[in-house]
Structure 1
């Protein structure tokens, strides 16, 4: 993968992320709905209050059909490709630029810093798509709009700044991919050293396991802010106006810190991890598949580049006068 340009790495990463997220998208819908549900809204929307991930799956399937498990699929996949492409592009560019200036091995700390910088640049560019996806995944059946319609509604109701709701939490969460990729590189290096492998490459199975472990660690560490980000991007249903002022205040949030404080006050530490099970299953499977697919797509990209280079050389030799 080191021979690929930032564009090549970005393309491989985006294709890998697309494949992974398409496979686990229903889990994304389930964990998002679990993250935004509140006790105050239970009486108003009993069909959208879930006791567990399995209960959410059954209720969504019963009330909305299979399409309910794929709410926001178009926006979600577009956001996945855009986020993965921009992250891998920025990561390859930033990491490559650093290595040119500071030759030699990169420490774990610096890997995390480079990953965080890349993640911040990616989040700023792609956050509007994530906001639209969250709104589509959590909207009641009679309130669902298209991607463009949802974006227009956000701008109309909240102004352009509404498309960047949750930016504070998103920037904090830049440590998530930093921890993931930093852990992956470190675990990969330690594993290869332990088995005495000098090729620098892992098999698909080894990549899957190390990728899963890396993402599990990052998810557990950053989950409270993952939940806070989704709650910031979510909009309470229109019938929230029928609640008492106290209950309306409980589901209205000013910032990610405000969310963490309110959730902790009502539900304790467990509230910070509501929806963790589907989140970690989705994140681990998705990230592990991403690592495997990214390497495979990277290998195919290198083969494609080599093929075109060979074809170009053959045409050049065949031209008259050569």
Structure 2
């Protein structure tokens, strides 16, 4: 292989596996931040209800550190990992679907354009939005169940199956598993901004570089996720409110739309309430995205090397098979020639 040759592009499933693996590892490492940001986002601080709790949990948290200490004191360290299995399942399925469809639509777009140039920023955002929408349609039920698990009071903890049944047995029925779908479809701008910014920053900071070092991939992932999180935080808060249990102050009446959630939060907390939990949300997003892209880059490189090795092994096997066929066929061919010569009539003048 010459030094100027580029690694063969991965098939969509290879990109998807690499992305899903990176996402699972990254989210597992920072999962307690996910619990904290979710619980901060479902609680509402207000004096309008005269003592009736507006949070779905017994505790009310004042900050990230306060939430961590209270969760450990109330539920033990395991409380920081409530709903972990369901969350990682959702992360794996969502990221596999996202990276698969992103690879498919980006490859198709590039072939259609046939210009040899990378897609423009608007095109990158559009491709990311399409891939995100396709991924959400198939994976949002897991996200709904996980959010319910993360906000369950300690005396009412349930597994994935039981929580799923609880959602289905609510007034929404099976449609409850797709609660927040509209908000989720709107939120596809988050990964589209993230990966659009990632591609742009990569071309700006590391032009022409095929394989990034772990630190470079981490930096790009963190910067791109920070931009996307700040831009979409109100929608993230509204989506969590939709998918969690309704606050006790609503007497069991669930929210019907993310605009209703946002109006409720603004009424009780003001506009800044739409940015609650942004600290752990931002920290979690930066760490996860940085680790994800760092791991994804390594996984993609491993897949490229694996595919190259498999091709090399296959070529060797084909050469050996050809040599065996040649060895067996040559004597037969010579014998056939001799028989033809022996059978040919001798012509005399």
TM-score by length of 2: 0.85
* Structure with the largest fraction of helix: 1
The one-character-per-residue Cα deviations of 1:251-294 (angstroms, maximum 9, x if unpaired) are: 74221001111211221121001110000000010001111100
Distance 2:317 2:11 in 1: 24
Q: Which residue of 2 aligns with 1:321?
A: 325
Alignment of 1:217-236 (within 5 A): 217-236=227-246
Query: After superposition, what is the alpha-carbon deviation per residue over 1:29-82, rounded to whole angstroms, capped at 9, x for unaligned?
Result: 110000001235548877421001101000110111111100000000000000
Q: Partners in 2 of 1:205 and 1:164 — Cα distance?
A: 37
Take 2:55 and 2:295, find their aligned partners in 1: how far apart are those partners? Answer: 43
> What is the match of residue 145 of structure 1?
158
Are positions 1:213 and 2:223 aligned together? yes
What's the CA shift for 1:250? 10
1:182 aligned to which of 187, 193, 196: 196
Do the aligned partners of residues 2 and 221 (structure 1) sit closer, same or farther apart at CA in structure 2, a change above 3 Å counting?
A: farther
Match of 1:57 in 2: 68
CA distance in 2, matches of 1:44, 1:213: 32
| SS of corresponding position for 1:48 | coil
SS of alignment partner, residue 210 of structure 1: helix
Determine if contact 2:22/2:295 at 8 Å carries over to the other structure. yes
Aligned residues between the structures: 310
Gaps of 5+ in 2: 1-6, 327-349
Contact 2:56 2:245 in 1 (8 A): no
- 1:125 pairs, out of 138, 159, 178, with 138
Deviation of 1:85 after TM superposition, in Å, equals: 0.3
Match of 2:27 among 17, 21, 27: 21
Q: How high is the TM-score relative to the length of structure 1?
A: 0.91
Q: Does 1:192 find its partner at 2:206? A: yes
Structure 1 runs of 4+ aligned residues shifted over 6 Å read 43-46
Higher mean C-alpha deviation, range 275-284 or range 41-50: 41-50
RMSD (Å) for aligned C-alpha atoms? 1.9
| Alignment of structure 1 residues 141-180 onto 2, 5 Å | 141-157=154-170, 158-180=172-194
Equivalent in the alignment of 1:244: none
**Matches of 1:100 and 1:44, distance apart in 2:** 50
CA distance in 1, matches of 2:199, 2:149: 35
Q: 1:182 to 1:44 in 2, by over 3 A?
A: closer
Q: CA deviation at 1:249?
A: 6.6
